[in-house]
Structure 1
C-alpha cells in the first residue's frame, strides 16, 4: 500500500481511503501529496479488491489549494519526489483528477477548508459529503490568477452556469449549505462526521456488483456531452454485456434466495 509523507493510504474493507495529510498547512497541495494522490488512484484502479475510494483530509481541513513553493520542490519536503514530476510532467494534473478519472467511484469527505485547488479536485470526485462548517470557493481571480485545474470547463457542467460564473468571477467563499443548494455537494452533515457518512455511502457501493458499478460510472461520464440518441446507443454498448456476466446471474440468484450476493467480478 502506497502513500507519502503528505498522503496516507489505508483500507476500510473494500474501500481505499486516501487522506491529504498536511494539517499544519490546511492540506495545501505539495509535490509529496500529489505523488501520493496519483499513486493512490492507480492503486485503486489496479486492485480488483478495491470497489470504491474515499478522499478526505486530516486535521479538520480538506485542501486549501496549491502550495507553489512545495510544488516547485524547494526544500526537503518536495525534493525527494522531484524525479516523479520530471518523469511524468502531467503527474500533477492526473493527481488532481484533471487528466485522470478512476474507474472506481470516488466519494469526497470534506471538513473545513476546501478552496482553490481543493474545490478543483472536488470536481473530479463523484459523490460529495461536507461537514456543516466546510468552506468552498475558487479564490484564484482575487489573486490575479486563473483556476487552471479545470474549473472553467467542469463547474458549469456540474452546477447551473449562473452559479458557476458567480463562484469563478467573485472568488468569494461558499458555506456548505450554499454549496449544497447550488449542487456542488450532495450531503451536509454535522461537523466531524463527513468521513463516517462517506464511508457509509462507499459501503453501499461496495455491496453492489463491481462490474455493473464501473460500467454505470463510465457510461455517465462518456455520454455526458453526447446527443441523447448517441448517448443511448453508447449506453447499450456499455450495459448489455453486463447482463451476460456471472455477477448478473449471481445477483438474480441472491435476490431469489433472499441472501446477500457474493460478487466475483466475473
Structure 2
C-alpha cells in the first residue's frame, strides 16, 4: 500500500491509532468494484503490518455503506477499476480476503453504517467485529430475489452470528431490514441517530486504542478460535492465549498505571 494508501474507490486516512477505510464510490452507492476490493485488502494488510494502528473503522462515503455487487458489471457492462485486474490475476483469492471472507485482521474492525448496507455490503458486515448503524440504515441479502447465491459467506457465517430462524428468513426472502430490526435480531450492536455512526465508531475505537494492544489482539483471537470448540477445549485454548499476556511489560505497565492513578503507556512488549 502506497503512502496514504487507497485507490480511486477506497479512501484511507489515520485518526490517531485508528485506520479509517472508506468505501468511496458514492455515485453507485459504493457498489463493489475491482479498485474497491484491491484497496480494501491492502487496507487490512496495512493495519496488520503497522503496530501503530490499533483498530480499524470501515465506513462508506455519500450516505451509503455498500450496495453490494455491481449488477451492471454482472450483466456484462464491465466492472469499474479494470486497471487493478492484474492484482486479481496475481491473487485469485484477493476479492474474498477483501470482503473478510478469507481474511481476519488481527486488529478490531468496527463498521460504521449509514444508508444501504445490502447484499455484498451485508456480507462484508459479517466480517466486522463491532457494528454501529445510523437509524436510516438498511440491510438485507437480496441475492435469491435476483436468482443469485450469497457466495460471500453468508450461508455459513450468518447462522453463527444471529439465530438460525432469522438467518434463514434473511437469506430466503431477500427482503430489506431496517436498522432497528437488524439490531433486534443481533446483526448490528447499536443504532444511533443518522449521521452519527462514524463518530460513534471512532469513539469505540478510541476506547479500544487506550487498552493494551497485545491484550486486545489476544482477546479477539481467542474469541474466534474457540467459537466452534467444545467448552472444555475452548477453555484450554483460552489459557494458552491468555497466560502469555500476563508475562508482558504491557501487563506490568497496566498494573503500575492503575496503582499510580495515571493513564497507561503501552509499548507492545
- What's the TM-score once normalised by structure 1's chain length? 0.98
Match of 1:16 in 2: 19
Match of 2:98 in 1: 95
Deviation at 1:246, TM superposition (A): 0.2
Match of 1:39 in 2: 42
SS of residue paired to 2:81: helix
Among 50, 66, 69, the residue aligned to 2:69:
66
Q: Which moved more, 1:206-215 or 1:74-83?
A: 74-83
Match of 1:162 in 2: 165
Deviation at 1:168, TM superposition (A): 0.4
Asked if 2 retains the 8 angstrom alpha-carbon contact of 1:71 and 1:78, the reply is: no
CA distance in 1: counterparts of 2:231 and 2:257, whole angstroms: 34
Q: Is 1:260 aligned to 2:252, yes or no?
A: no
Match of 1:27 in 2: 30
CA distance in 2: counterparts of 1:47 and 1:153, whole angstroms: 31
SS of residue paired to 1:81: helix
Render the CA deviation track for 1:136-169: whole Å, top value 9, x for unaligned: 0000000011000000000000000000000000
Asked if 1 retains the 8 angstrom alpha-carbon contact of 2:73 and 2:79, the reply is: no
Among 53, 74, 86, the residue aligned to 2:89:
86
Gaps of 5+ in 1: none
Match of 1:147 in 2: 150
Gaps of 5+ in 2: none
CA distance in 2: counterparts of 1:167 and 1:230, whole angstroms: 32
SS of residue paired to 2:201: helix
CA distance in 2: counterparts of 1:237 and 1:192, whole angstroms: 42
Q: Is 1:202 aligned to 2:202, yes or no?
A: no
CA distance in 2: counterparts of 1:239 and 1:191, whole angstroms: 38
SS of residue paired to 1:114: strand
Match of 1:238 in 2: 241
Match of 2:120 in 1: 117
Deviation at 1:78, TM superposition (A): 1.9
Q: How many residue pairs end up in the alignment?
A: 266
Change (3 A) 1:180 1:242: same
Deviation at 1:71, TM superposition (A): 8.0
Q: Is 1:217 aligned to 2:213, yes or no?
A: no
Asked if 1 retains the 8 angstrom alpha-carbon contact of 2:70 and 2:79, the reply is: no
SS of residue paired to 1:241: helix
Deviation at 1:61, TM superposition (A): 0.2
SS of residue paired to 1:260: coil
SS of residue paired to 1:80: helix
Change (3 A) 1:71 1:10: farther
SS of residue paired to 1:10: strand
Deviation at 1:35, TM superposition (A): 0.2
Q: What are the residue-to-residue correspondences of 1:130-145 with 2, within 5 Å? A: 130-145=133-148
Q: Is 1:4 aligned to 2:39, yes or no?
A: no
Deviation at 1:2, TM superposition (A): 1.1
Among 55, 58, 72, the residue aligned to 2:58:
55
CA distance in 2: counterparts of 1:253 and 1:72, whole angstroms: 61
Change (3 A) 1:33 1:219: same
CA distance in 1: counterparts of 2:202 and 2:224, whole angstroms: 23
Deviation at 1:77, TM superposition (A): 3.7
Match of 2:188 in 1: 185
